[in-house]
């Protein structure tokens, strides 16, 4: 798995377009715990930015194990993205101001300086995406498989890469 800057740019563009993903951490019993999060920004260097409340269980989970996984799905565009990386939390009012959206006031009534607001940064370590073609491509693959007796491989586009950055 070699890293190509174009692949990282493609993944961050897909994430930027989808916005909401499922963030998965390990809970205190080592069970996977997933919840929806809104991606406020996906940087070209492999950093994803979110807000969270200092009082949520994800804060405790990230203090125990910084490894996370994020899954994004856009069924209309038949696009699927999974990233694995490392999360870090900070109190960062200037960054919060930069990422702020009016809709966030529902969760943080005091705005970007709300004392409950934590900035979560996920550094992508690995990523994989799939872009599935339309139904006709699947039908053509099914017909070919029926005639040749060989199952279809990946239909559409599938790429994975490893940034090799590690937790920072």
Give the pLDDT band of residue 165 (cuts 50, 70, 90).
low
Chain segment 146-162, per-residue pLDDT in tens: 777 787 666 677 888 88
Q: Which letter, b or e, does each residue of 140-162 get, where b requires 16 or more Cβ atoms within 10 Å of its Cβ?
A: ebeeeeeeeeeeeeeeeeebebe
- Residue tagged 């705005």 (tokens): 111
- Residue tagged 């939390």 (tokens): 89
Burial class (CB in 10 A: 0-12, 13-18, 19+), 92: middle
Contacts of 149 (CB under 8 A, 6+ apart): none
> Lowest-pLDDT range, 38-42, 61-65, 153-157, 159-163?
153-157
CA distance 140 to 152: 10
All structural domains of the chain, each given as residue ranges with its CATH number in brackets, are: 5-162 (2.30.110.10)
- Mapping DSSP to helix (H, G, I), strand (E, B) and coil, where does residue 126 land? strand
User: Are 25 and 6 spatial neighbours (Cβ–Cβ below 8 Å)?
Assistant: no
Contacts of 115 (CB under 8 A, 6+ apart): 54
Residue 70 CB coordination number (10 Å): 23
Give the pLDDT band of residue 1 (cuts 50, 70, 90).
very low
pTM for this predicted structure = 0.85
């Amino acid at each position: 798995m070699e890293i190509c800057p174009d692949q990282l740019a493609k993944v961050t563009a897909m994430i930027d377009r989808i916005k909401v993903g499922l963030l998965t951490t390990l809970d205190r019993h080592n069970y996977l715990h997933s919840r929806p999060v809104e991606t406020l920004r996906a940087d070209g260097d492999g950093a994803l930015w979110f807000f969270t409340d200092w009082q949520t269980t994800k804060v405790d989970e990230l203090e125990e194990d910084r490894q996370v996984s994020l899954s994004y799905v856009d069924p209309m565009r038949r696009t699927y993205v999974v990233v694995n990386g490392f999360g870090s939390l900070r109190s960062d009012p200037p960054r919060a101001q930069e990422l702020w959206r009016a809709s966030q006031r529902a969760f943080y009534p005091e705005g970007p300086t709300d004392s409950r607001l934590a900035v979560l940064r996920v550094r992508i370590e690995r990523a994989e995406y799939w872009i599935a073609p339309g139904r006709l491509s699947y039908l053509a693959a099914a017909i070919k498989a029926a005639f040749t007796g060989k199952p279809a491989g990946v239909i559409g586009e599938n790429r994975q890469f490893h940034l090799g950055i590690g937790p920072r």
